[in-house]
Amino acid sequence: MPETPRTRSPALPRQLGLWSAVAVVVGSTIGSGIFRTPAGVANRLPGPVPLMSVWVVGGLLALCGALTLAEVAGAFPDTGGIFVFIQKAFGRLPAFLFGWSELTIIRAASLGAIATTFAEYFMRVLGRDPSIAPNDSYVHYVAALAILVTATFNYVGMRTGSFVQNITTVAKYFGLLFIVVLAIAIGLPRTGGHFTPAAPPGSFSIAPFGLALVSVLWAYDGWADLTFVSGEVKDPRRNVPRALILGTLGVIGIYLLANIAYLSVMSVDEIRVSKLVAADVALRLVGAGGVTFVSLTVMLSTFGTLNGSILTSPRIFFAMADEGMLFKKFASVHPRFQTPYLSIALVAILGVIFVLLRTFEQLADTFVTAILPFYALGVASIFVFRKRADAEYAPPFRTPLYPLTPILFVLATLYLLTNALIDPSSRWPTLAVFGVILLGIPVYFVTVGTKARRRMESH
């Protein structure tokens, strides 16, 4: 006997226009990665060509994902994004595992890592070294407060959260662009650039390139977050695909320009030991004032990314609850603010707990490992929808070079996960994350599966 339909929650109002949607993509992506990641990349790849290559490859993979989800999200512009795509393509259990992973690992780890970086540069702007006591403990409390503040913005309305997102996105993008212009206009004539030797011996090796690519993909992460709020975008069949593509291209462009700017002023060896390469570039170009400017830019950048994450991610739990996979209360819409306020509160509480207990490195590594399998499933859903070719699937946009585009993304994801399992330094943390994800299977059958069976038996 068929399962009885569930009572749906009220729909969230569509308030995001095209450029606000682009701001969600750009603002959720550009965080601390472009400021912190170059040192780790240069540590593994010794020459300018391999260094630039890994950023190009990472950008192309992000674009492959964005072009694929532009088609799927255009066909299903619903609140929940990847959760919805996985459920429609592969069923309730894989969708539940995505939601379970977001609940137990992904979202709290992501918020914690972003908020921690914000707090570190907030302390620097105040003239305090965040690496020494008691400032290192203050970092956790400042990060927790930042999560609560951005959660409040989004609790009181999508318009408020979107306004903060738009302002911080413009500020961070043009702040980074200003550093690029300074480096190329002033630094390049002084140094002649550090682009030779372009590919010294040992530049290309599969394992180091793969590890560098993981770091780069952390910097590119955020390109898919718009899909979580697709249900609140105006004219979504037109605007969601456009925003995904425009936003991702904008991020790729500024990231490549930033790396050219860094190499215009500093050598690969110098970048390798620079914890905040943009600050060191600015110091050489305009003195101590440049470091303050970069620290403020990083603060705005990470605050905007934190706001973007809290703007988008609660919609996953809203969708889960609406599908009967989480307590129904989390699908509640605030009568005045028209926001999924309980889901926002849940995300904020989880983020605060994680940020008070864990370090940046622990949070970032956990997040990347946990999210990759579900990005792959979300992108792979296109194969199922294209094969079905039913009346429900009528995308306004078609992925270019299909099926090569999604295949490249899925294969790259599998390669990165395999590399993480093979590498001794990451093997056990990766297995631990997979263990938590798989723990969701018995949780599903004990909770969601049991409820479904009872509904069927009662009818």
pLDDT single digits (tens) 235-286:
999 999 999 999 999 999 999 999 999 999 999 889 988 877 888 888 888 8
Q: What percent of the chain has pLDDT over 90?
A: 55
Instruction: Give dist(CA 391, CA 267) in Å, integer.
Output: 56
- Greater confidence (210 vs 166) lies with 166
Question: Highest mean pLDDT range out of 111-120, 334-343, 426-435?
Answer: 334-343
Question: Helix and strand tally (H, E) in the chain?
Answer: 20, 0
251, 223 Cβ separation under 8 angstroms: yes
Q: Averaged over 394-404, what is the pLDDT?
A: 95
pLDDT digits (tens, 9 = 90+) for 173-214: 999 999 999 999 998 888 877 777 777 776 677 778 887 888
Query: Is pLDDT of 4 > 70?
Result: no
Model pLDDT, residue 130: 82
Buried b (16+ CB within 10 A) or exposed e, 179-217: bbebbbeebbeeeebbbeeebeeebeeeebbbbbbbbbb
Model pLDDT, residue 454: 59
pLDDT digits (tens, 9 = 90+) for 341-381: 999 999 999 989 888 877 665 666 677 778 889 999 999 99
Q: What percent of the chain has pLDDT over 70?
A: 93
Question: For 233, which DSSP code?
Answer: B
Provide the Cα torsion 209, 215, 218, 220; round to 10°.
-50
Model pLDDT, residue 46: 82
Phi-psi region of 402 (alpha: psi -120 to 50; beta: other; left: phi over 0): beta
- Greater confidence (125 vs 76) lies with 76
Q: Read off the pTM.
A: 0.91
Question: Highest mean pLDDT range out of 4-13, 84-93, 412-421?
Answer: 84-93
| Arithmetic mean of pLDDT over the chain | 88
Closest CA to 107 of 322, 354, 323: 354
Q: Averaged over 42-57, what is the pLDDT?
A: 90
51, 42 Cβ separation under 8 angstroms: yes
Domains defined along the chain, listed by start: 18-448 (1.20.1740.10)
Instruction: Give dist(CA 213, CA 215) in Å, integer.
Output: 5
Model pLDDT, residue 419: 80
pLDDT digits (tens, 9 = 90+) for 284-318: 888 888 888 888 888 888 999 999 999 999 999 99
Closest CA to 313 of 6, 63, 98: 98
Chain-centroid distance of CA 434 in Å reads 19
Token pair belonging to 111: 């918020």
- Greater confidence (309 vs 457) lies with 309
Closest CA to 241 of 84, 15, 11, 25: 25
Confidence of residue 416 (pLDDT cuts 50, 70, 90): confident
333, 12 Cβ separation under 8 angstroms: yes
Model pLDDT, residue 219: 87
How many residues belong to the chain?
459
Give the Cβ contact number of residue 39 at 10 Å: 18
Q: Averaged over 168-177, what is the pLDDT?
A: 92
- Greater confidence (354 vs 234) lies with 234
Instruction: Give dist(CA 41, CA 274) in Å, integer.
Output: 11
- Greater confidence (399 vs 432) lies with 399
Model pLDDT, residue 423: 76
Task: Report the DSSP beta bridge partners of residue 252.
Answer: none
Token pair belonging to 164: 């903060």
Backbone angles phi, psi at 206, to 5 degrees: -60, -50
Which amino acid, one-letter code, is at 214? Answer: V
Phi-psi region of 81 (alpha: psi -120 to 50; beta: other; left: phi over 0): left
Token pair belonging to 352: 């605060």
